[in-house]
């Protein structure tokens, strides 16, 4: 492959990762507050369909994107309401919504299948886009991709460098203690779930109005993206930078799957496409293994120095999810 083709391909990877980034960062924020929104797959399909329909009927891309965000926020609001106010299981409600919203998307979107609609085209940034290598890679993207770059930075700054972000982390880490410090835990959980949902909702139009424009129903290849986003969220350990790495890695693997296919006829394309999942499982294993009871028992049997060393290694690998993730908070 020529150098230019590689750069163009990588630029495509960045663009393809943008929608997933929106979803993953949205879910990261939600889970940081202690809520799991399992409905991602359905939400993204529904918002992709909905934003496409709105955009093509009104002719306005902006309205389309807004519709997507609203849909995402709406579904997330249902999850938040049922879990925070009604104290139903987040997993149950999220799972049902994942299936329901998917079917809604296909059903309502049926008449619009295959139609052409407005498409977000690339915007070259003057001057910067002429820099060799970096220019074509970074600065000839469409608006959503630029926004995704900004989103990573914004999320990171928010979570780690802002006062409300500190409160968010405290709510996820230890809701009781955050409550003792004056945080309105349930209200914050609600807000962050809806905010995260809105970001997830933007992932839909980022596909149907940009990356793979149009609504093609079951052939759109979108089905499953929401589950992948959930996996990457866990892999990203609730850290926007690591999550971004996961998204780009995933998009890269997808691209490699297409590119390398002709040269490796014996390796099926499915292998590379599915690679994120075994990797995610492996990551989850490594991260949790220190907590397993049999590991603790085994540790106790080791001689002292070895034991301390292994314990230290395990502790450094350990990534704890926000405590109380999925558990409703009650003040009394």
Q: Find the binding residues for another protein in span 229-268 (CB under 8 A).
A: 230-231, 234, 268
Applying CB under 8 A, which part among 11-19, 236-244, 248-256, 274-282 lies near another protein? 274-282
Cβ at position 111, least distance to another protein in Å:
7
Residue selected from 99, 264, 313, 327 as contacting another protein according to rule CB under 8 A: 99
Residue selected from 241, 273, 310, 329 as contacting another protein according to rule CB under 8 A: 273
Residue selected from 131, 134, 258, 274 as contacting another protein according to rule CB under 8 A: 274
Question: Is 306 a residue that touches another protein (CB under 8 A)?
Answer: no
Question: Could you give the CA distance from residue 195 to residue 261 in angstroms, rounded to a whole number?
Answer: 39
Cα 156 from chain centroid (whole Å):
14
Question: Is 187 a residue that touches another protein (CB under 8 A)?
Answer: no
Is residue 248 classed as helix, strand or coil in its secondary structure? helix
Report residue 69 as tokens: 């965000």
Contacting another protein within 29-58 (CB under 8 A)? 38
Closer of 113 and 143 to another protein (Cβ): 113
Answer for the pair 198, 73: CB distance below 8 angstroms, yes or no.
yes
Question: Could you give the CA distance from residue 195 to residue 30 in angstroms, rounded to a whole number?
Answer: 8
Question: Is 307 a residue that touches another protein (CB under 8 A)?
Answer: yes
Contacting another protein within 107-166 (CB under 8 A)? 107-108, 110-111, 161-166
Closer of 85 and 121 to another protein (Cβ): 85
Is residue 319 classed as helix, strand or coil in its secondary structure? coil
Cβ at position 288, least distance to another protein in Å:
3
Question: Is 97 a residue that touches another protein (CB under 8 A)?
Answer: yes
Residue selected from 119, 169, 212, 242 as contacting another protein according to rule CB under 8 A: 169
Report residue 71 as tokens: 């849909």
For helices 225-235 and 240-260, angle between their N-to-C axes, nearest 10 degrees = 130
| Longest CA span, the chain | 71
Nearest one of 185, 244, 202, 241 to 33, comparing CA atoms: 185
Residue selected from 180, 313, 317, 327 as contacting another protein according to rule CB under 8 A: 180
The total of other beta-carbon atoms located within 10 Å of residue 192's CB is: 24
Residue selected from 4, 125, 278, 317 as contacting another protein according to rule CB under 8 A: 278
Residue selected from 187, 291, 317, 327 as contacting another protein according to rule CB under 8 A: 291
Cβ at position 151, least distance to another protein in Å:
18
Question: Is 320 a residue that touches another protein (CB under 8 A)?
Answer: yes
Strand partners, 122: 142
| Number of chain positions touching another protein (CB under 8 A) | 75
Nearest one of 247, 249, 245, 271 to 258, comparing CA atoms: 271
In terms of Cβ atoms closer than 10 Å to its own Cβ (0-12, 13-18, 19+), residue 297 is exposed
In terms of Cβ atoms closer than 10 Å to its own Cβ (0-12, 13-18, 19+), residue 51 is buried
Cβ at position 259, least distance to another protein in Å:
18
Closer of 144 and 155 to another protein (Cβ): 155
């Amino acid at each position: 492959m020529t150098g230019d083709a590689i750069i163009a391909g990588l630029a495509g990877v960045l663009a393809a990762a943008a929608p997933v980034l929106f979803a993953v960062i949205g879910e990261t924020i939600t889970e940081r507050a202690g809520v799991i929104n399992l409905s991602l797959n359905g939400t993204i399909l529904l918002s992709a369909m909905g934003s496409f329909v709105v955009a093509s009927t009104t002719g306005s891309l902006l309205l389309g994107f807004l519709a997507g965000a609203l849909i995402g926020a709406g579904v997330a609001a249902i999850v938040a309401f049922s879990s925070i106010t009604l104290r139903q299981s987040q997993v149950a409600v999220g799972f049902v919504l994942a299936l329901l919203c998917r079917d809604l998307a296909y059903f309502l979107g049926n008449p619009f299948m295959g139609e052409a609609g407005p498409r977000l085209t690339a915007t070259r940034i003057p001057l910067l886009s002429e820099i060799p290598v970096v220019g074509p890679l970074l600065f000839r993207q469409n608006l959503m991709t630029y926004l995704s770059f900004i989103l990573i930075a914004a999320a990171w700054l928010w979570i780690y460098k802002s006062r409300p972000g500190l409160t968010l982390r405290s709510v996820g880490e230890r809701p009781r203690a955050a409550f003792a410090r004056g945080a309105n835990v349930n209200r914050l959980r609600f807000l962050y779930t809806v905010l995260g949902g809105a970001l997830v909702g933007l992932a839909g139009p980022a596909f149907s109005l940009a990356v793979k424009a149009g609504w093609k129903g079951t052939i759109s290849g979108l089905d499953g993206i929401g589950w992948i986003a959930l996996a990457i969220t866990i892999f990203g350990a609730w850290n926007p930078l690591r999550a971004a790495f996961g998204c780009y890695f995933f998009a890269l693997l997808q691209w490699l799957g297409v590119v390398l296919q002709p040269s490796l006829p014996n390796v099926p394309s499915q292998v590379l496409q599915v690679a994120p999942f075994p990797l995610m499982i492996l990551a989850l294993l490594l991260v949790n293994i220190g907590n397993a009871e049999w590991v603790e028992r085994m540790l106790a049997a080791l001689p002292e120095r070895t034991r301390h060393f292994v314990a230290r290694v395990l502790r450094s690998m350990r990534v704890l999810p926000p405590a109380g993730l999925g558990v409703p908070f009650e003040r009394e």
